[in-house]
């Protein structure tokens, strides 16, 4: 069954809130990189979570910081990678 | 840049020191005394834009400066945190698989070599470019390049490291070693320095094993690709690194016969 459009966003948001300690509430469109929510060490954890949870492979040379700008763009990246499979 | 050969090794009796580090003594001393070296390298260690300009995810300006917990508290309580980055400190917790927790204090320095109080510049700056790697007993086992990016320069076939400090004389090493003895009186400091070495060398080994062709690339291509591999988690598994650090922690605690005094554990 295909996940509802916000299901991916919701799971990503839950991971960030639980593991990356943003210290505040977080909307789907909030900018993550600019607000310092994702230090490099924690980006590694997030990428691992995305690959394990959504069954995608993130190829380092195919992504840019824009893909990690917000929960919404990360979810778009996941959907895009799923569409390639 | 390799760690140099260290003259005159004097190992301790086989148990790690269980004292406290005299931070006044650390900050009175100089591990590496080269007051004008910045003129020869355009302040590379303070301003490594030659490398960071190629980064997209990692900071392209400024230097991440980890502080030991004891160092941070000393500088804070004595009012000597650098004015230029005192408000940039973040504190994260590294949770080890053995249940212990290592707090990580990190500042971001964008002073480009103009410390507000050079006498109290951070420890990681004071030891540059020779980061000490201690044994579990607190002896100086070797030195290695200080920053994560530094460890790759010697392996790169196309570039030499910009730092011009490649060696020290015997007297300088004696002074360096004396300060290391003070630093490693506190076994918590041993743990942090060994952890830093584990982290860097795990990543180095991974590049050599998985991406040896990268090391043949010009530095701008190497560091732009290396950055993406690093932040996308392709160069190490955090769990494996944490296991290795936990093993060091367990080893230190077994020698001490008590838990290390780690904040938040």
pLDDT at residue A1, rounded to an integer = 43
At B156, is the pLDDT very low, low, confident or very high (cuts 50, 70, 90)?
confident
CA B202 vs. chain centroid, Å, equals: 14
Say if A39 is an interface residue toward chain B (CB within 8 Å).
yes
Distance from CA of A41 to the nearest CA of B (A): 7
Q: Per the CB < 8 Å rule, is A64 touching B92?
A: no
Residue B112 has pLDDT above 90, yes or no: no
| DSSP structure string for A19-76 | II--SS---TTS-TTTTT---HHHHHHHHHHHHHHH-----GGG--GGGGSSHHHHHH
Say if A52 is an interface residue toward chain B (CB within 8 Å).
no
Q: With contacts defined as CB-CB under 8 Å, which chain B residues touch A63? A: 228, 232
pLDDT at residue A83, rounded to an integer = 84
pLDDT at residue B15, rounded to an integer = 60
pLDDT at residue A32, rounded to an integer = 78
Give residue-wise pLDDT tens across range B172-207.
Answer: 999 999 999 999 999 999 999 999 999 999 999 999
Nearest to B225 among A33, A58, A61 (CB): A61
At B157, is the pLDDT very low, low, confident or very high (cuts 50, 70, 90)?
confident
Burial B2-37 (b: 16+ CB within 10 A, else e): ebeebeeeeeeeeebbbeebebeebbeeebbeeeeb
CA distance readout (Å), A6 to A2, A9, B90: 11, 5, 32
pLDDT in tens, chain A (85 residues): 445 568 999 999 999 888 776 666 777 887 776 555 566 777 888 999 999 999 999 999 989 989 998 999 999 999 999 987 6
Nearest to A64 among B56, B58, B238 (CB): B56
Q: With contacts defined as CB-CB under 8 Å, which chain A residues touch B206? A: none
CB pairs below 8 Å between A and B: how many? Answer: 41
A5-83: which CATH number, 3.40.50.720, 3.40.50.970, 1.10.1200.10, 1.10.533.10? 1.10.1200.10
- Distance CA(B109)–CA(B61), nearest Å, equals 9
Q: Per the CB < 8 Å rule, is B233 touching A44?
A: yes
Q: Which residues contact B56 (CB under 8 A, 6 or more apart)?
A: A64, A65, B224, B227, B228
Distance from CA of A50 to the nearest CA of B (A): 11
Taken as a whole, chain B contains a residue count of 265
- Distance CA(A59)–CA(A47), nearest Å, equals 10
pLDDT at residue B61, rounded to an integer = 78
pLDDT at residue B228, rounded to an integer = 92
Best of B57, B105, B221, B236 to substitute, by most chain A Cβ atoms within 10 angstroms, is B57
Arithmetic mean of pLDDT, B118-137: 96
- More confident of the two residues B231 and B10: B231
Give residue-wise pLDDT tens across range B217-261.
Answer: 999 999 999 999 998 989 988 889 999 999 999 999 999 999 999
Distance from CA of A28 to the nearest CA of B (A): 20
Give residue-wise pLDDT tens across range B30-81.
Answer: 999 998 899 999 899 999 988 888 888 887 778 889 999 999 999 999 999 9
Q: Per the CB < 8 Å rule, is B225 touching A48?
A: no
Say if A22 is an interface residue toward chain B (CB within 8 Å).
no
> What is this structure's pTM?
0.88
Distance from CA of B230 to the nearest CA of A (A): 8
Distance from CA of B225 to the nearest CA of A (A): 7
What is the DSSP code (8-state) at residue B171?
A: H
pLDDT at residue B12, rounded to an integer = 56
């Amino acid at each position: 069954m295909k996940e509802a459009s916000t299901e991916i966003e919701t799971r990503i948001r839950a991971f960030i809130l639980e593991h990356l300690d943003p210290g505040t509430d977080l909307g789907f469109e909030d900018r993550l990189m600019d607000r310092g929510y994702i230090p490099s060490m924690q980006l590694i954890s997030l990428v691992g979570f995305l690959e394990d949870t959504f069954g995608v492979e993130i190829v380092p040379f195919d992504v840019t910081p824009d893909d990690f700008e917000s929960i919404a763009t990360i979810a778009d990246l996941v959907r895009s990678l799923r569409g390639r499979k | 840049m390799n760690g140099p050969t260290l003259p005159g090794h004097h190992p301790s009796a086989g148990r790690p020191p269980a004292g406290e580090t005299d931070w006044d003594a650390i900050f009175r001393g100089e591990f590496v005394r080269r007051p004008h070296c910045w003129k020869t390298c355009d302040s590379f260690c303070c301003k490594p834009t030659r490398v960071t300009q190629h980064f997209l995810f990692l900071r392209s300006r400024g230097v991440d400066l980890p502080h030991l917990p004891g160092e941070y508290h000393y500088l804070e309580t004595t009012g000597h945190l650098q004015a230029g980055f005192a408000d940039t400190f973040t504190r994260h917790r590294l949770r080890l698989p053995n249940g212990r927790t290592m707090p990580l204090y990190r500042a971001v320095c964008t002073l480009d070599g103009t410390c507000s109080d050079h006498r109290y510049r951070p420890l990681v700056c004071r030891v540059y470019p020779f980061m000490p790697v201690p044994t579990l007993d607190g002896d100086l086992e070797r030195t290695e390049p200080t920053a994560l990016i530094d460890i790759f320069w010697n392996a790169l076939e196309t570039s030499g490291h910009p730092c011009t400090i490649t060696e020290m004389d015997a007297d300088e090493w004696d002074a360096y070693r004396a300060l290391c003895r003070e630093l490693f009186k506190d076994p918590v400091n041993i743990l942090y320095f060994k952890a830093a070495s584990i982290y860097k060398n795990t990543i180095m080994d991974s590049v050599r094993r998985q991406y040896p062709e990268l090391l043949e690339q010009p530095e701008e291509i190497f560091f732009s690709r290396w950055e993406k591999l690093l932040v996308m988690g392709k160069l190490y598994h955090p769990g494996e690194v944490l296991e290795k650090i936990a093993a060091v922690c367990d080893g230190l605690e077994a020698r001490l016969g008590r838990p290390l005094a780690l904040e938040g554990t």
